[in-house]
Amino acid sequence: MSSSFEQSHVEFRHRPTYAEVCLNSLRSNLRAIQAFVGDAKVMAVIKANGYGHGFEQVAKTLEAAGVHSFGVAYIEEAIELRKLGITHPILVFGGLLKEQLDLYIENDVQVTASSVTKMEQIEEAAARLGRRAKVQLKIDTGLERIGVHYYTAPTLFDAALKSQHCEVVGVYSHFADVRREDLSTTKLQLERFLESLRYFEERATAPFLRHIAASGGLMALPESQLDMVRPGLSLYGVYPSAGLDSLLKLNPVLSLKSQVVYFKVVQKGAGVSYGHTWVAPEDTRVVTIPLGYGDGYLRRLSGNSEVLIRGQRSPIVGAICMDQLMVNVGQGVAYNGDEVVLFGQQGTEQITVEEVARASGLSPYEILVTLNQRIPRVFVGN
């Protein structure tokens, strides 16, 4: 087997459930975002296995397509990118322990300095290794996660300015709430960030990147695009909140598909699946799909979501099992081997990740990253 594409197809032959990842759509979304933000650079966020799409293929596709840099959550993800041959800049967003700092510096990975203490630890590690560490300063403007508070940011800026072994390549923050219908909190955070930056801008001797906007911010509040944006969910063709689809046209990258593996007629009054939470109101045709919460298709979708079979919507009935779920096709037709789309397009019908998220009461982020490695990824558009 000479490629991930071939490996995926070998895996798919052994299991009818798979996630189809369209790399052409990924490239198209990157181009759309680049055009939308103009001169701002694009950092592609590919943490959590590329939002469930496949770390290696996503990273290599985006690097070849001209993305500026990558953002990940943990140093382990950054090291994996380096092992894959990715040479673009990589920023790790997450908090760190000083024991990890050698890994950052040795692998040329940008470190998030989120406090004066962290900045001093980075300086000490770089001096000990005889290397220069690339650092991005994190300012907390209202998320209360990591980062020095905006009103005490000068203390972090001073620590960075006196560093002899660190190169500050960026200063960033993160929005806590981006909703198009109410951007008051978002605008307040942007104001806090820009105000705190003035201190550093007046004293810095080298250029650096300013960034605060992820997918929602770059669309809903264009003035937040600054020098760089950090799209994650939008790269994969999914909108983080309602009302953004009118601002930027994106194409879903991942479709979740399976096949019918069993067909039966359930008699009126018979219960289906564990607990008999659904009882057939009449004699009806029910098919079984080899996918369940053990794959990350959440049990909470039981009884309130649909799938596509033969271009028609059909409801999931009964409790979703660890490895299987049942679908009521009514008096319709379905055969073993028929394609089933859990999200994606079939004929003229489409089920989006956003729709599945609403049915589950969760966010689109959770729907994508919950799909685990038991589901093979099949890459198209290489």
pLDDT tens-digit profile of 226-279?
999 999 999 999 999 989 999 999 999 999 999 999 999 999 999 999 999 999
Evaluated on CA atoms 355, 360, 362, 368, the torsion sign reads negative
Which pLDDT band, with edges at 50, 70 and 90, does 8 fall under? very low
What is the rounded distance in angstroms from the CA atom of residue 228 to the CA atom of residue 211?
Answer: 5
In this predicted structure, what is the pLDDT of residue 15?
87
Q: Calculate the CA dihedral of residues 81, 82, 83, 87 and round it to 10 degrees.
A: 110
Tokens matching residue 324 = 């299987």
DSSP-derived pairing of the beta strands 148-149 and 133-140: parallel
Q: Tell me the pLDDT of the chain averaged across its residues.
A: 95
In this predicted structure, what is the pLDDT of residue 6?
36
Q: What is the pLDDT of residues 240-249, one digit of tens each?
A: 998 999 999 9
What is the rounded distance in angstroms from the CA atom of residue 266 to the CA atom of residue 56?
Answer: 44
Evaluated on CA atoms 142, 146, 151, 157, the torsion sign reads negative
Picking from 364, 376, 358, 241, the residue whose alpha carbon sits closest to that of residue 300 is: 358
In this predicted structure, what is the pLDDT of residue 13?
58
Which pLDDT band, with edges at 50, 70 and 90, does 7 fall under? very low
Q: Which domains does the chain have, with CATH numbers?
A: 23-236 (3.20.20.10), 254-351 (2.40.37.10)
Q: Distances in Å between the alpha carbon of 21 and those of 38, 54, 288, 320, 347?
A: 27, 8, 24, 24, 18
Q: What are phi and psi of 349, to 5 degrees?
A: -95, 150
What is the rounded distance in angstroms from the CA atom of residue 164 to the CA atom of residue 110?
Answer: 16
DSSP assignment of 31-85: HHHHHHHTTSEEEEE-HHHHHTT-HHHHHHHHHHHT--EEEESSHHHHHHHHHTT
3-state secondary structure of 151: helix
Which pLDDT band, with edges at 50, 70 and 90, does 126 fall under? very high
Pairs from 5-9 (Cβ < 8 Å, separation ≥ 24):
5/378, 5/379, 5/382, 8/376, 8/377, 8/378, 8/379, 9/378
In this predicted structure, what is the pLDDT of residue 136?
98
Q: What is the pLDDT of residues 152-183, one digit of tens each?
A: 999 999 999 999 999 999 999 999 999 888 99
In this predicted structure, what is the pLDDT of residue 192?
98
In this predicted structure, what is the pLDDT of residue 179?
86
37-41 average pLDDT score: 98
Catalytic machinery residues:
47, 274
What is the rounded distance in angstroms from the CA atom of residue 82 to the CA atom of residue 62?
Answer: 15
Q: Does the pLDDT value for residue 10 go beyond 80? A: no
What's the half-sphere exposure (Cβ side, CA atoms, 13 Å) at 113? 30
* DSSP code, position 179: B
291-315 average pLDDT score: 97
Q: Does the pLDDT value for residue 366 go beyond 70? A: yes
